[in-house]
Amino acid sequence: MYLFTRNTLVNWNIFCATAGMVKADIDTEKQQRLRTRLMDTLRSKGIQDTQVLNAIAKVPRHFFVGEEQQPYAYEDKPLPIGEGQTISQPYTVAYQTELLQVQPGQKVLEIGTGSGYQSAILASLGVHLYSLERQRKLFEKNESFAYLQSLPDVHFYYADGHHGLAEEAPFDRILLTAAARIIPGNLLEQLAPMGLLVAPVGGTEGQQMVRMHKSPDGSIQEELFDLFYFVPMLPGTQ
C-alpha cells in the first residue's frame, strides 16, 4: 500500500523497469472504481448496451495513455497519445461500439488502431479483430504492448486503411475511428452481406456518425446519427 506515496511510487517505477514490467500493468482498486464511475457516466449520457458498458468497466483505459495522462485516464475526454493523435473519448468509443452491434465470433475490421483502446474493447466482446494503423510508431508501440498482445484473436497491421484488408475479407463489421470525407469503396466491397460499417463522415468542421448496412443483394442503406470530431483519415503510411 505504500506504493501510493510519492517516493515509493518512484521506487516502484524503478522496480518495474528492472523487472521488465511497465507501471501501466498495475490496475488498482481505485482505478477499477473510477471505471465503474465512468460506466455510470456513459449510461447517463445515453449508452444503453449492457455489454458495451461492461466492456468499459473491464478494460483498463489507463494502460493506453502515457504517464502524464494517467490522472485523466477515467475522465470522459479524448487524450493525446503522441504522433499528433488521440485516444477517443470513452463516450465516443462506447457510442461507436454500440452502433456496431457486434456478436461474439464475428470478424471485425478497425481502421485506426491508435492507442489500441477501442481494439481492446472490441476484443473483450469476443470478436476476431483486425486493426490497421498508418503510423509506424503507433503500430510498433502496440506490437510491443503486452496487454494487447495477450488478447486472443487481435491482429495489428501497419497499413493504409483506405485499402482495407482484402486477404481477410469479408468482414461482418467495419469500424472507422478516423474521419473519412467519403467511405472508401474498398471497405464497402470488403463488408459481408448483412454486415454493418460505422464511420464518422465529414471534414475538419465535424463529422456525422454514419452506419451503413449491406443487404444480401449488395445494396447499401445508410443511417445518420450524431455529430463528432475525429482526427482525419489520411492517405498512405508514415
Which residues contact ligand SAH by CB under 6 A? 85-88, 111-112, 114-115, 117-118, 132-135, 138, 160-162, 177-178, 231, 233-234
Residues in the chain: 238
C-beta of 16 vs 211, nearer to ligand SAH:
211
Alpha-carbon gap, residue 168 to 157, rounded angstroms: 12
Helix (H, G, I), strand (E, B) or coil at 187: helix
Name 232's bridge partners: 179
> Shortest approach of ligand SAH to residue 105 CB, angstroms?
22
44 given a catalytic annotation: no
C-beta of 13 vs 232, nearer to ligand SAH:
232
Please answer whether residues 113 and 141 qualify as being in contact, where contact means their C-beta atoms are separated by less than 8 angstroms.
no
Beta-sheet strand order (sheet of 154-158)? 154-158, 128-133, 107-111, 171-176, 191-203, 206-214, 220-228
> Shortest approach of ligand SAH to residue 131 CB, angstroms?
8
The amino acid that residue 213 corresponds to is H
Maximum alpha-carbon separation in the chain? 64
Alpha-carbon gap, residue 210 to 230, rounded angstroms: 13
- For residue 126, what is the DSSP state? T
> Shortest approach of ligand SAH to residue 26 CB, angstroms?
21
Helix (H, G, I), strand (E, B) or coil at 5: coil
Count of CB atoms situated within 10 Å of the CB of 24: 19
C-beta of 118 vs 207, nearer to ligand SAH:
118
Look at the block and give the residue holding cell 471485425: 108
C-beta of 98 vs 160, nearer to ligand SAH:
160
Instruction: Identify the active-site residue in 44, 88, 150, 215.
Output: 88
C-beta of 12 vs 158, nearer to ligand SAH:
158
Residues with a catalytic annotation lie at 88
